Amino acid sequence: AQTVTQSQPEMSVQEAETVTLSCTYDTSESDYYLFWYKQPPSRQMILVIRQEAYKQQNATENRFSVNFQKAAKSFSLKISDSQLGDAAMYFCAYRKLQGAQKLVFGQGTRLTINP
């Protein structure tokens, strides 16, 4: 079974600084998707960024980028120029490419932005 691990329960960063959230996963599949979701206090889960495992290039979305290390099964999220609105729970998630389409989530990292 696939597992996703986020080893940082909480992180904090100064506004305008850069922060990196860590995620590791375990799978025997060669092709799959990885995601970072943001969950603000309103609870609505929002997709931040996604990475296809068969793509070597790291995904980027504006201030958000990932460092995908397939051999190490590592998938970290870098947030540049942190803003107060970035404060939320961040979840790393895995999904198979074929077959069952359910998301497997990590335990989450609570990100605090200090003004």
Partner 1 sequence: GAGVSQSPRYKVAKRGQDVALRCDPISGHVSLFWYQQALGQGPEFLTYFQNEAQLDKSGLPSDRFFAERPEGSVSTLKIQRTQQEDSAVYLCASSAQSYNEQFFGPGTRLTVL
Q: Which residues make up the interface to partner 1 (CB under 8 A)?
A: 4, 6, 42-47, 50, 91, 93, 100-108
99 to 6, 18, 33, 37: CA distances (angstroms): 25, 37, 12, 22
Instruction: Identify which of residues 39 and 80 has a Cβ nearer to partner 1 in the complex.
Output: 39
Q: CB-wise, 24 or 80, nearer to partner 1?
A: 24
Q: What is the maximum alpha-carbon separation in the chain?
A: 44
Nearest approach in angstroms of CB 23 to partner 1 is 11
Q: Among residues 42 and 62, whose Cβ is nearest to partner 1?
A: 42
Q: Are 49 and 35 in contact (CB under 8 A)?
A: yes
In whole angstroms, the minimum distance from the beta carbon of 14 to partner 1 comes to 25
Tokens of 87: 């404060």
